[in-house]
Every structure is written in structure tokens, then in C-alpha cells.
């Protein structure tokens, strides 16, 4: 996503922001309302994420949007203290992670609002949403559940 800067010149593209298209628009609209959507296949019954127009498990095109619970468990993570790629360098330190959604899919994301050294594999997480810049879509990130998994 980019637009003109204050001088009217085109701004440099932002590689950390998603570019919604007609297919992904429902996903980003739901995220703006604090809802995480996934896709589920009617043919095999499996859910998947990132959203695709076909099932990556059985290749069926009979897939539909479904609201996820927002519950997840931490699979793995990395504390990023240096990133030379703009604009990520300005965002360090951050916690890049892979989480297992309660519905089954594994998802790349970030972990926010956690104590230093407080993460552990298998810990319960819940989705929240962050806006990474003015006019940017809300993106799903996860935070630890303070008292275990959400109801």
C-alpha cells in the first residue's frame, strides 16, 4: 500500500501491509471489526489459513468463510531484535510466531503484550488486532491468556 507523501510524490511501497483484493476483502473487513475469519472446505471438512479460493488439502473449490474462535496455542516463536528490511527495522523488537488455531490451521503472526521470557510452547493465546499505520488494515496478532484458555 502506498500513496502520495506530503509533497504529492508517490510514497515508497509498504511491504509490511497487506493489500486487500476482492477475494480477501471479507477477511480484512472482519478484522477491522475484531473478528478472525478462516476458510473451511465443505468437501473434506478441514479448515485452512491463509485464505485461499480452494482447499489446500483436497483441492476442492467448495470452501466458505467461517468465523474462528480466536483461541490458539503457541507452536514456536522468535524474538526479533534486528531486521534490516524497511520498515521492519523500526518495529524491533517484536515476537514473530507460529500458532495453532483451535480450529486446526497453523498461522504465522506476532505475539504482543507478553512478559520477557514468559512464552512457552503450548501456552494458550487469544487473537487481538493491530493497525500498523494510518489507513492500514487491522491485522491479527495474539496475546497470552492470563488465566488459561478463553471460555
> Do the domain assignments include residue 38?
yes
Report the C-alpha gap between 129 and 116 in whole angstroms. Answer: 21
> Do the domain assignments include residue 2?
no
> What pLDDT shows up at residue 149?
52
> Do the domain assignments include residue 121?
yes
Count of domains in the chain? 1
> Do the domain assignments include residue 151?
no
> What are the tens digits of pLDDT across the range 50-93?
999 999 999 999 999 999 999 999 999 999 999 888 777 788 89
> Do the domain assignments include residue 62?
yes
Report the C-alpha gap between 60 and 54 in whole angstroms. Answer: 6
From edge to edge, which strands make up the β-sheet containing 37-41? 47-48, 37-41, 63-67
> Do the domain assignments include residue 1?
no
Choice between 117 and 11, residue whose per-residue pLDDT is larger:
117
Q: Where are the beta strands (DSSP E) in 19-103?
A: 37-41, 47-48, 63-67, 71-80, 94-101
> What pLDDT shows up at residue 9?
61
Cβ-contact 80, 94 below 8 angstroms: yes
CA-to-CA separations, 26 to 43, 57, 64, 141, in angstroms, rounded: 22, 22, 11, 18
Residue 148 has pLDDT above 70, yes or no: no
> What are the tens digits of pLDDT across the range 106-134?
999 999 999 878 999 999 999 999 987 77
The three-state secondary structure class of 51 is: coil
Average pLDDT over residues 18-23: 87
> Do the domain assignments include residue 12?
no
> Do the domain assignments include residue 39?
yes
Look up the domain containing 128 and give its range: 25-144
> What pLDDT shows up at residue 1?
44
The three-state secondary structure class of 93 is: coil
Amino acid at each position: 500500500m502506498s500513496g502520495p507523501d506530503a509533497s504529492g510524490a508517490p510514497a515508497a511501497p509498504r511491504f509490511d501491509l497487506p493489500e486487500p483484493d476482492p477475494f480477501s476483502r471479507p477477511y480484512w473487513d472482519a478484522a477491522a471489526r475484531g473478528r478472525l475469519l478462516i476458510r473451511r472446505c465443505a468437501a473434506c471438512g478441514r479448515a485452512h489459513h491463509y485464505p485461499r479460493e480452494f482447499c489446500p488439502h483436497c483441492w476442492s473449490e467448495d470452501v466458505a468463510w467461517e468465523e474462528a474462535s480466536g483461541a490458539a496455542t503457541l507452536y514456536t516463536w522468535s524474538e526479533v531484535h534486528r531486521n534490516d528490511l524497511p520498515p521492519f527495522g523500526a518495529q524491533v523488537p517484536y515476537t514473530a510466531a507460529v500458532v495453532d488455531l483451535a480450529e486446526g490451521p497453523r498461522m504465522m503472526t506476532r505475539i504482543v503484550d507478553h512478559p520477557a521470557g514468559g512464552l512457552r510452547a503450548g501456552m494458550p493465546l487469544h487473537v487481538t488486532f493491530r493497525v500498523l499505520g494510518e489507513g492500514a488494515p487491522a491485522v491479527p496478532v495474539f496475546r497470552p491468556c492470563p488465566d488459561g484458555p478463553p471460555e
